[in-house]
């Protein structure tokens, strides 16, 4: 499975962005997150073009939770996308990168008063209100401010997105947003309308992540448009902005066939055109909020192979080969969190036939299996293992479990590698430690 600018060199090495993976591992060490910069930019452009061709007023926001650092925020701005941030830390990163505050959208199901104040002080473009409690906080915080804060109200549309339960968000029984069916969403909007200092601009619904089709998005859109009709009846107001969230899936395994960005845009915009016409609603500005499908396939993690063990097993009778790598659940917790599956191959033997069935084990003091079963080229200690499609929700979910340093990240493009996140040093691991009697 070769993605983006990946190819195999004459020496049989994996190459990404014109740099071979073996030299990247030598220069920057492993584990290493390698981002194919041209692929990220191509995805940004594909989103912008696909939606602009089908709908008159669109903004694409990158969901920073998928992967964010200063260089990523810069790249996203250079590509003309807006940015969704969901914590003080993500907001701070965006601001320090020089991201225009007006193009920031602040999310979160339990924003603190301090986070909301920070967002208001920064003049972020939109705050997405997630609860009536948040409205209590905002009412107090906006009192006396000169600039009214534009807000969207996040609704729970009550649809089942058919994805792993830990990344479902659009169903009725969810911690996210205000329930459409219970009346909480209508109450939320009416409270925004009554609050001096808040400006209601529209509605947000994100149904879930890594979705294989656009069925749940379309159902959510229908629910939101029905809500827009009720809102018009009860308040006379139109929704100016409709944020359809993110959620498009990517290729993790060679046989995965997710919707293309184009097909996703087609499904969403045709449902929106139809739904608006049927209800005689004015056209809102459409916002979409992709994370995984911008950066997921563009990231490859490189590891060095260490211990290899053949272990006798009873079922089926035989031997299982465990290939241990120098990272694991600290740099990619997704397999442990929600049974995420990955493909892998040896970057230094990429031209050789894959014939050895192995289990890829991390180095943590838990079961820590990164890949349950994958067919590799014949593995030996010192080989460089490449795990593709690891750009999203890996570094952003990384930890220091077992006091492992979080890996470095590089952007590669046209034969050049740029370090965008330094590897943590052992001293970095002690930076926050305090000896009580010191």
Ligand X SMILES: Cc1ncc(COP(=O)(O)O)c(C=O)c1O
Catalog residues that contact ligand X under the rule CB under 6 A: 63, 65-66, 84, 107, 169, 206, 209-210, 245-248, 289-293
Catalytic residue, from 233, 312, 314, 365: name it: 365
Q: How many whole angstroms separate alpha carbon 75 and alpha carbon 223?
A: 34
365 in catalytic set: yes
Count of alpha carbons within 13 angstroms of residue 251, beta-carbon side: 17
Identify the CA nearest to 104 among candidates 156, 136, 152. 152
Least gap, CB of 101 to ligand X (angstroms): 19
Cβ of residue 248: shortest distance to ligand X, in angstroms? Answer: 6
Report the residue number, 347 or 392, with the smaller CB distance to ligand X. 392
What is the rounded CA–CA span in Å between residue 257 and residue 354?
22
Cβ nearer to ligand X, comparing 335 with 362: 335
Please say whether the dihedral angle defined by the alpha carbons of residues 323, 325, 329 and 333, taken in this order, is positive or negative: negative
What is the closest distance, in whole angstroms, from the C-beta atom of residue 115 to ligand X in the complex? 15
Of the pair 157, 290, the CB lying nearest ligand X is at: 290
The separation between the first and the last C-alpha atoms of the chain, rounded to the nearest angstrom, is 53
CB nearer to ligand X: pick between 24 and 68: 68
DSSP class of 86 = -
CB 225 within 8 A of CB 219: no
Residue 14's alpha-carbon distances to 93, 273, 351, 418, in angstroms, are 32, 44, 9, 18
**Tokens matching residue 22:** 């073996």
Helix or strand run (H / E) with residue 345 = strand 345-346
Residue 4 or 108 having the CB closest to ligand X: 108
Cis ω on the peptide bond leading into residue 31 (within 30° of 0)? yes
Determine the residue with CB nearest ligand X.
Answer: 246
Give the residue with the Cβ less far from ligand X, 65 or 349: 65
Closest contact distance (angstroms) between CB of 290 and ligand X is 4
CB of 412 vs ligand X, minimal distance in Å: 22
CB of 289 to ligand X, least distance (A): 4
SS3 of the chain: helix, strand, coil, percent, to 5: 35, 25, 40
Nearest 5°: phi and psi at 435? -85, 125
Indicate which residues carry an active-site annotation.
365
């Amino acid at each position: 499975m070769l993605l983006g600018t990946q190819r195999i060199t004459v020496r049989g090495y994996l190459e990404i962005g014109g740099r071979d993976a073996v030299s990247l591992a030598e220069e920057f060490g492993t584990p290493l997150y390698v981002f194919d910069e041209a692929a990220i930019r191509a995805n940004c452009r594909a989103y912008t073009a696909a939606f602009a061709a089908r709908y008159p007023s669109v903004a694409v926001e990158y969901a920073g939770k998928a992967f964010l650092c200063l260089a990523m925020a810069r790249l996203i701005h250079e590509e003309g996308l807006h940015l969704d941030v969901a914590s003080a830390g993500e907001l701070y990163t965006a601001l320090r990168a020089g991201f225009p505050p007006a193009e920031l959208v602040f999310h979160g199901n339990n924003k603190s008063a301090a986070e909301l104040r920070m967002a208001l002080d920064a003049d972020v473009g939109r705050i997405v209100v997630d609860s009536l409690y948040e409205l209590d906080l905002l009412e107090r915080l906006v009192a006396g401010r000169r600039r009214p804060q534009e807000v969207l109200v996040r609704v729970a549309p009550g649809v089942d997105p058919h994805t792993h339960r830990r990344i479902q968000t659009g169903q009725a029984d969810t911690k996210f947003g205000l329930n459409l069916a219970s009346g909480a969403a209508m109450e939320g909007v009416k409270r925004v309308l009554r609050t001096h200092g808040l400006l209601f601009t529209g509605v947000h619904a994100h149904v879930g992540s890594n979705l294989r089709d656009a069925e749940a998005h379309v159902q959510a859109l229908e629910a939101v448009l029905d809500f827009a009709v009720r809102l018009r009846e009860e308040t006379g107001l139109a929704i100016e902005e409709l944020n359809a969230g993110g959620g498009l899936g990517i290729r993790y395994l060679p046989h995965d066939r997710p919707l293309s960005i184009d097909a996703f845009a087609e499904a969403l915009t045709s449902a929106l055109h139809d739904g608006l016409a049927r209800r005689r609603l004015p056209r809102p500005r459409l916002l979409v909020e992709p994370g995984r499908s911008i950066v997921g396939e563009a990231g490859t993690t490189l590891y060095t192979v260490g211990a290899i063990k053949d272990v006798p097993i009873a079922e089926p009778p035989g031997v299982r080969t465990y290939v241990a790598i120098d990272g694991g659940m600290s740099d990619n917790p997704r397999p442990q969190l929600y049974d995420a599956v990955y493909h892998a191959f040896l970057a230094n033997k990429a031209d050789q036939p894959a014939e050895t069935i192995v289990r890829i084990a991390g180095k943590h003091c838990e079961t820590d299996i990164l890949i349950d079963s994958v067919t590799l080229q014949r593995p030996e200690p010192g080989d460089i293992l490449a795990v593709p499609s690891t750009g999203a929700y890996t570094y952003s979910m990384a930890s220091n479990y077992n006091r492992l340093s979080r890996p470095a990240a590089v952007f590669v493009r046209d034969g050049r590698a740029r370090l965008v996140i330094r590897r943590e040093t052992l001293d970095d691991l002690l930076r926050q430690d305090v000896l009580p009697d010191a």
